[in-house]
Amino acid sequence: MPIKYAALSFRKDLELSAPFVFDQSTYLVATNVASVFEPGKTDHWRKWIGEIPWEELKRDRLSLFTWMPTKNPGVLDEENKELTTRINSAWYALLLGAGRPPFWGGSHQMTGTGELSNGAVDKVTVRQFSNMFAITRPYYVHCTMRYIEQRTNMHGDPPWPDEIKTLYNLLETRWRAARAITSIIRDALESLKDARCAEDPGTAIARFVEAAEAVLAMPKGKAGKMEFASRAMAMLSPYKTDSYLDWPEPNLKDVRLIELYELRNSRNHGKGTFDSVCDILGSADKDVVNDAVGRWYYLAEHLARRSIRHLLEHADGPALATKRALLEAAWDAGTFP
């Protein structure tokens, strides 16, 4: 049976003992894409893709695959577009899940034709190939041993796969199938992606906060740090225990959400993130500053994920996301969150 497929290939940040199945045709596997190309034609595809990307594809990697049967294997058409959109849902589900995403570094996306071998994509050809976004490792991984010590075992086997499947199904069957991926949720996801690709932690913090603000939906008359902190707290309060943040029960007396909003403003208004952190802390000690920036990065990332997920999971989410005014009104009426 001829099939079309789409694939995303990344450097892996965890060991995956078995394929992780999103649905009957979409899965994450610890393999390099080069291993599933047509046998005997690797020289052709190495020249076609380019030597450097090919060497990347040959490394020990994680790869996302999705496929569908086709009657038109030689045609690049809406089927290929559908497959690449579907694989993006799986990718965003991994970004939205708890803990660090399981991959990092530059990614490569491709689509084309292939065959099935024991339910897996094999013997592929390529009709489109792109060098994609480069995911950075979170700043807190670099800057604080406290995080490393507390989060050493955060990845691996369940329960995270069940959570990822739920998020994937929300994006695919509740939102995209209903044509509910409006500019509000699209912008929030795009800001989340930009944050995870940012090398500079100040930029990442600002983009995470902007991802959350798409859902926090503050009208002009209520703009400001206290309203931001209040709405952010509403997103975080059901998930309030976090030993890394030393935040067993967050409340508005804790100023970190206000400081987070100020850091976002500092970055976007050109005031300098690290200078602002030094002012907040009253210290220029490198280790102290890096540890604090790492925690704000972690908090901003957590807030962005929780906010987007709350909108995705909300019973009226697809309707509220059609117009910003509807989301603002729901906040004012107390029906959201």
Please indicate whether residue 274 or residue 87 has the higher confidence score (pLDDT). 87
Residue 148 included in any domain: no
Query: Which of 90, 121, 141 is a domain's end point?
Result: 141
The whole-number pLDDT of residue 304 equals: 96
Are both 123 and 210 inside the same structural domain? no
The whole-number pLDDT of residue 127 equals: 93
Hey, is 281 helix, strand or coil?
A: helix
**Which helix H or strand E contains 3, and what residues bound it?**
strand 3-12
Confidence of residue 241 (pLDDT cuts 50, 70, 90): low
The whole-number pLDDT of residue 336 equals: 92
The whole-number pLDDT of residue 116 equals: 94
Query: Which of 141, 171, 196 is a domain's end point?
Result: 141
Residue 172 included in any domain: no
What confidence tens digit (pLDDT) does each residue in 97-152 have?
877 778 888 899 999 999 999 999 999 999 999 988 889 888 887 765 555 555 54
Are both 245 and 134 inside the same structural domain? no
Residue 64 included in any domain: yes
Q: Which two tokens stand for residue 255?
A: 């100023």
Are both 219 and 280 inside the same structural domain? yes
Are both 126 and 10 inside the same structural domain? yes
Q: CA–CA separation, 86 vs 97, rounded Å?
A: 17
For residue 72, give its domain range: 3-141
Q: Of 29-38, 89-98, 213-222, 235-244, which gets the smallest average pLDDT? A: 235-244
Q: Please give the average per-residue pLDDT across 150-159, as a whole number.
A: 46
List the beta bridge partners of residue 114. Answer: 3
Residue 265 included in any domain: yes
Q: Is the pLDDT of residue 212 over 70?
A: yes
Q: Is the pLDDT of residue 332 over 80?
A: yes
Answer yes or no: are the C-beta atoms of 100 and 138 closer than 8 Å.
yes
Confidence of residue 250 (pLDDT cuts 50, 70, 90): low
Q: CA–CA separation, 168 vs 149, rounded Å?
A: 30
Q: Which two tokens stand for residue 277?
A: 């952190």
The whole-number pLDDT of residue 249 equals: 56
Are both 134 and 192 inside the same structural domain? no
Orientation angle between helical segments 201-216 and 256-268, nearest 10 degrees: 110
Q: Of 84-93, 115-124, 191-200, 228-237, which gets the smallest average pLDDT? A: 228-237
Average pLDDT, the chain: 86
List the beta bridge partners of residue 108. Answer: 9, 131
Are both 190 and 105 inside the same structural domain? no
Q: Is the pLDDT of residue 260 over 60?
A: yes
* Residue 286 falls in which region: left (phi positive, over 0), alpha (psi -120 to 50) or beta: alpha
Confidence of residue 273 (pLDDT cuts 50, 70, 90): confident
Q: CA–CA separation, 174 vs 167, rounded Å?
A: 10
The whole-number pLDDT of residue 239 equals: 63
Are both 128 and 198 inside the same structural domain? no
Task: Give the percent of the chain with pLDDT over 70.
Answer: 88
Closest CA to 310 of 187, 180, 170, 178: 170
The whole-number pLDDT of residue 293 equals: 87
Q: Is the pLDDT of residue 69 over 90?
A: yes
The whole-number pLDDT of residue 314 equals: 94
Are both 125 and 226 inside the same structural domain? no
Are both 192 and 329 inside the same structural domain? yes
| Other residues' Cβ atoms within 10 Å of the Cβ of residue 246 | 9
Q: Please give the average per-residue pLDDT across 202-212, as a whole number.
A: 94
Residue 90 included in any domain: yes
One-character DSSP codes across 295-325: HHHHHHHHHHHHHHHHHHHSTTHHHHTT-HH
Confidence of residue 216 (pLDDT cuts 50, 70, 90): very high
Are both 20 and 120 inside the same structural domain? yes
Are both 114 and 212 inside the same structural domain? no
| Other residues' Cβ atoms within 10 Å of the Cβ of residue 227 | 16
Query: Which of 110, 141, 172 is a domain's end point?
Result: 141
The Cα-based distances of 337 to 119, 237, 322 in angstroms read 41, 11, 16
Are both 247 and 306 inside the same structural domain? yes
- Burial grade of 125 (CB within 10 A; 0-12, 13-18, 19 or more): middle
Give the count of domains, the chain: 2
Q: Is the pLDDT of residue 70 over 60?
A: yes
- Burial grade of 182 (CB within 10 A; 0-12, 13-18, 19 or more): middle
Residue 171 included in any domain: no
The whole-number pLDDT of residue 158 equals: 46
Residue 170 included in any domain: no
Q: Of 77-81, 200-204, 238-242, 288-292, which gets the smallest average pLDDT? A: 238-242
- What type of residue is 268? N
Residue 152 included in any domain: no
